């Protein structure tokens, strides 16, 4: 499956495997948005996020693909991702999964679960090898 507009959601917990999986799903003309949601977007945060996730942009670059880092300000991460995907007519969202165990796992729906249920497009969840579901 090759997508035309891809949204890759990243957090500090996103492993390289997620980005590599996204790279494999791209064709040369795929437009890639790398999205990170922050609580407050100041100059400092913009610089910090750009530095922190430069490795993601580099991975796409190495594969000969163009990607752009998008920083969105919201405290509602799940809906910020959905809104971004809708606004930019993305046809696929690629995101990692974060295992939530125990009582917290029982009482909290993960972002990936929410995206699967509510996204307007295909959602691809990438699990790091060996990571619990």
Going from the C-alpha of 99 to that of each of 9, 15, 17, 43, 77, the distances in angstroms are 16, 13, 15, 32, 17
Instruction: Look at residues 101, 92, 96, 85 and name the one whose alpha carbon lies nearest to residue 123.
Output: 92
Give yes or no for a contact between 74 and 80, defined as CB atoms under 8 angstroms apart.
yes
Is 38 a binder of another protein (CB under 8 A)? yes
Q: Pick from 24, 29, 87, 129: which binds another protein (CB under 8 A)?
A: 87
Is there binding between residue 122 and another protein (CB under 8 A)? Answer: no
Q: Of 28, 29, 101, 129, which lies in the binding site for another protein, with binding defined by CB under 8 A?
A: 101
Q: Looking at beta carbons only, is 24 or 78 nearer to another protein?
A: 78
- Residues that bind another protein in the complex, under the rule CB under 8 A: 11-13, 33, 38-48, 68-77, 84, 87-88, 98, 100-104, 106-109, 111, 113-114, 117-118
């Amino acid at each position: 499956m090759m997508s035309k507009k891809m949204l890759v959601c990243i957090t500090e917990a996103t492993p390289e495997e997620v980005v590599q999986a996204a790279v494999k799903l791209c064709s040369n003309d795929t437009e890639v948005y790398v999205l990170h949601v922050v609580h407050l977007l100041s100059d400092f945060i913009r610089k910090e996020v750009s530095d922190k996730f430069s490795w993601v942009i580099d991975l796409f670059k190495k594969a000969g693909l163009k990607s752009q880092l998008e920083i969105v300000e919201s405290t509602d991460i799940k809906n910020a991702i959905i809104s971004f995907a809708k606004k930019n007519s993305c046809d696929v969202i690629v995101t990692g999964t974060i295992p939530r165990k125990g009582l917290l796992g029982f009482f909290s729906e993960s972002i990936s679960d929410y995206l699967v249920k509510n996204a307007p497009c295909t959602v691809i969840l990438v699990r790091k090898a060996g990571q619990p579901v």
